[in-house]
Each structure stands twice: as structure tokens, then as C-alpha cells.
A and B are shown apart, each in its own frame.
Chain A
Amino acid sequence: MEVELIHRPGNTAARVSLQPGEVCTTESGAMIAMSGNMQIETTTHQKGKGSVLKALKRLVGGESIFMNHFEPLGGKGELWLGTALAGDMLVHELDNEQLIVQGSSFLASEQGVELDIGWQGFKSVLSGENIFWLTLTGKGKVVLSSFGAIYPVEVDGDYIVDTGHIVAFEQTLDFSITKAGKSWLHSFLGGEGLVCKFSGRGTVWCQSHNPQSFGSSLTPNLIARKA
């Protein structure tokens, strides 16, 4: 499976080239176009493994319960993937380490990558992200998506990320909810409120923009909906 990212970072699309026999698993609704010979199978679990329980867990994780598996028939095929919001994508090669991904950032994976729900404790509730996180393990390529540009930060010690800006982090990092700067008062008056603090050694991938901030600034221009 080869992945090429196009139009980064504004409205990134992933062009996935599959050889005969290769399967790409994607979040439901991610396909924007594909060659005519592509076969889709929709399941509640990963191909050949998993259970209904896992699917249910994925549902509460903010992901759709269903996954799509794309496989080219009779020759190679290509597949274009996109997301609902504008933004960047990241291709990461897993080599038996653990990656913790914010629920809605998962886009696609190669065979050989396992998805599971990771509960990050009550701090998840306050993090402004999805309450549930996906834990990716195994070997192979994964494609993650974001709102805004993605930048990696190598953490060695402590690092602060504002809520709503986390895409993924390595499992070697621990995170907690705290304030920005020294004072709780200033953190709130400065509009930062609660922030996430990462400790340890490892990489955290941040998204430059916060979808909630954008949504709120859009509100005055939208027509009202019924409650």
C-alpha cells in the first residue's frame, strides 16, 4: 500500500495505491473517488478479526461503528480519501509500538494494524477532545487526519498543548489536565482555560487549529436550527 498526500496542508487528499491482494481499511465515509475495479466490503470489525464488542467500543469512541475495506480486483487500483473538514494528513509507519489517536483523527490503515479503544481516564472528559481514544498497535502504515496543519513536537520533560489541538501521541507520554502558566486566574482570563500537559519522552502531534473555535466563529453567520 502506497500513500501519497496531495494539497497539503489545506485540503489534503490521500491517494492510496493498492497492489492486487492488498487491503486498505478506512473510516466510513472517507472515500472520495476510486478506480472502477475497487471492491468495498463493509464490516463492523477489522477484516478477519475483531468482534461486535470492539465495534461498539468504536461507536462510543466517536468513530462510526462500520469500517470499509477496499481491495482491487484483477489488477492494481487507486483510492482517494478525504475528510469532512479542511485540514492536513499524516502518514505514520507503525513498528510494533503503540500510538494513541484522538477519536476522529483516524482515517485509514494497512492490514496488520490493530485498532482498539483506549480510555484515558476522566481527564479525557476535560481535554476537549473525544472522550475516547483509539490505540493503534501492530505493524504497517496508518493515515491520520486533522483540522489545521499537523506539527510534531518531540517532548522531553513537560509540554503544554491547548485542549482541542491533540491529534495523536506516543504511548510513552503521559498526560494530565492543568493550567497554562503559573496562575489559574490568568489561564482563564487569557482564554486558555484548561490545557493538557504531556510529560515524559516521546512525540505528540498537534493540529494548528481548533475546530471548536472555528465553529463558534461561524455561528453568527448560520441560520438557526430547531432545538
Chain B
Amino acid sequence: MYNLILTGKLEPGTNPRDALAGLAKLLKVDDAKAREIVRNAPVCIRRNTDAAMAERVVAAMKAIGIRIQLEPVAAAPAADGLAGTGVGTGVGTGVGTGEVASTAGAANAVSVAKTTNSAASAKPARPEQPSTSLKVIAGGKPAAANPVDKAQTPDSQQTAQAPHTPAAPESFKGFRYQLSGQPDYCFISVEIPAGETIKVEASAMASMTTNMLMKTRAKGGLSRFMSGESVFINEFTADTVPGEIGIAPGSPGDVKHLYLDNEEVFLQNSAFVASGMGVVAESKWQGFTKGFFSGESLFLIRCSGQGDLWFNTYGAMIEIDVAGDYVVDTGNIVGFTSGLDYDIQSVGGYKSLFFSGEGLVCRFRGHGKVWIQTRSVPAFASWANWYRPVKKK
């Protein structure tokens, strides 16, 4: 097993611009993102890769003039020593970013520092368990989809140091996956080990190997019937050999992956795409005042447990670190972490309530993350309404 480190050095005689363009193409990200990856070099682009795959990546990178360093996955004691540096860098950059970004940025620094610390403190106790934030990259996602603010920089910095986490392959949590087509038409392909199962939203399967078996189940809870979503969910199981499945959510937009480690995330009604079997997704009635006015739907999906979780947006995704309070239009909420309290309000006075077109907004308070989408579903639905075929009587 190897970690692949992008050293930032080029093969002799390579034009940096070509290399950058090649990298962008290879990783299927835009040039700006590729530049960011290189700027963060040395950075780990793929972890726990077997020798054959590693060789292929090295060859592909060499072809575009980028040098990759193979690093055998370190043994535990050495890793512990190095993990210390990881913490230092993570905090350092986090604070730096806070100064650049505005209100939201300051919160960032805090949250980054927090994750880093918890990652570090978790290590001696349970050395075999990678923390959530490390896992995201470990899943083989070369470029996260959040060019929004500099929030990503401390994250990727932190993970650049992360390869030293002693993640033995057998303790590796979650599925290997890859996102392509970001940020507008994100497509997920997940490798499913033999005998393992993944839950996928109805009709989201786009392609798969022939050894994947599908089973359709009714989702739990009466609320499913009222929320307008499909009441069924599909489970795909790889039979005796490993399989692969390609998932295409219905709405045009981005996908976010989280590895839940007994945490809780709330998602807007139709945002759920897929999850591991250890994740429990249940509809949660928001109560009359919160649910009734929220416009989007009466329900939130509460995801908890342990395992992979993928959710999607309509439009591009923006991640906002809330510290204090933040206001989001109800039609643009994708999800939020527990630890945030929210209530539904009108903006401005009564005139704004009826005429501003903003209707009701959701005011979040506390500390946590909110994911918002740049487009609103009700607005798109009212546009598309004109193009519906007309029923003849």
C-alpha cells in the first residue's frame, strides 16, 4: 500500500502551464482548482493505493510532466510523531484564513482548529480509526468541491499532512468513491467490496457492473408518503466479487460526501442520494411553525449512525461556517449539522413578508456548518411549470 504524494516538482523540460492543464484534465477539475492543489504541494492525492494502481497514476502523471512520490504507508509509531506537525500546520493556516475571510471565515479558523485537535486526540486512543475529516480525502476524492471561500485551504493543508495517520487497509472505513462532473452535474462512482451493500435513492443508479444485485425496499415512516418523495429506496449489493456503481442524482448540481461517525446531520427533504448501511436516515417532522412555513417541504431528513453519506444540491454548493447567526432563504437550504438551532422568520417588516419575494427565511444560531445551494427549487419549479404539457379535457 502506498500514499501518492504530489511533490509539486515537474519532470525536466515540462512547461508548467501544460502540466497544470494536464492535471486539471486528469483530475477533472477546473484550472483554478488544479492550481490550488499544486500550490498546496506536497499534497497527498491518493491514499492506501495498491502497487498496480499507484504505478498507473505515476505513469499518467509522468505523461503530463508531474512527478509523484510513492510513500509506503507508515507504521504506527513513526506516524504518531508526524501527526504532531499535522496539527500545527492545520491550526496555523486556519487562523491565517480567518483574517482574510469575513465573519464566516473567523468561524472557520475555530472549526478547523477543533477538528484537527479532535483528530489528534483521537489517535492515541483509537489509532485504527481515521477521523471524519481525514476520511473524506481518504476516499480518493482528489479535489473537494468548495472553492467558495478559503475554508478549503486549511482543510486540504491539514489533509496534506494526514497521510501519516495509521490507517491500515482492513480498518479503512467507508467505500472508495470518486466524484466527477463537479460542480454542476456531479456523478458518483463507488467501489463496493464483495458482500457489501449501499443504499441509493430510487432511480439514481446510472451504471453498474453486472454483479451488482438490486433490492427495493420501502422506506420507513409514514412521513415518506406525505413528503412527495419516492417511498422506495434501492439497495445494491456486490455478490461474490467487488463491484462498482455509478450514481446520478436527479437534480442538476453538486454532491457532498461525509463520513458519519455517530454524528447527526439534517438534510433537506430531497437531498439524500446514497449512504452506507450503517447510516440511519429518517424523516423528521419539523413541527407546524417550522415545517409549515419552510416552503421547501414539511420534513427534514435526520441522518445518524456510522458510514458514508452522500447528499446533493440543486445548483452549486456553498459551505458556510456559522458562528453567531446567519440567514438563509428556506428554498436554498441543503443541510446543516447538529449544534445549530434555527427558526423560521420573515425578513424585514410585513411588507417584505408579502412583497419581497424572499418570503420566509431560516435564521441559524450557534456553531456548526450550513450547506446552501445557489439555486432554489421552488423558483425552478415555477419556471418549469410553463413547459408542462397541458391536460386536455
Contact = CB atoms under 8 A, between A and B. Distances in A.
Q: In this complex, which of A7, A17, A78 has the most chain B Cβ atoms within 10 angstroms of its Cβ? A: A7
B391 interface: yes
Interface stretch (B85-93, B187-195, B302-310, B356-364): B356-364
B332 A32 contact: yes
B355 A42 contact: yes
A190 interface: no
Chain A interface size, under 10 / 10 to 19 / 20 to 34 / 35 or more: 35 or more
Contacts of A34: 326-327
A50 to B, nearest CB: 15
Contacts of B385: 225
A11 B375 contact: yes
B102 A226 contact: no
Contact of A11 (B253, B324, B352): B253
Judged by DSSP, the binding face of A is mixed
Interface residues of B, number: 49
Interface stretch (B19-27, B66-74, B376-384): B376-384
B388 A28 contact: no
A32 B372 contact: yes
Given A13-B374, A42-B352, A64-B357, A86 B324 contact: no
B376 A32 contact: yes
Interface in A189-216: 211, 215-216
A85 B375 contact: yes
B75 interface: no
B202 interface: no
A11 B390 contact: no
B320 interface: yes
B287 interface: no
A13 B327 contact: no
Interface of B: 102-104, 147-148, 183-184, 252-253, 315-316, 318, 320, 324-329, 332, 347-349, 351-352, 355-358, 363, 372-376, 379-380, 382-393
Interface pairs A-B: 9 shortest CB-CB: A29-B357, A28-B357, A10-B184, A84-B379, A36-B325, A7-B316, A215-B387, A13-B374, A11-B315
26 contacts: A6-B147, A6-B148, A10-B183, A10-B184, A11-B374, A11-B375, A13-B374, A31-B358, A32-B328, A33-B332, A35-B103, A36-B324, A36-B327, A40-B358, A66-B356, A68-B352, A68-B356, A68-B357, A83-B375, A84-B375, A84-B383, A85-B380, A85-B383, A211-B383, A224-B389, A224-B390
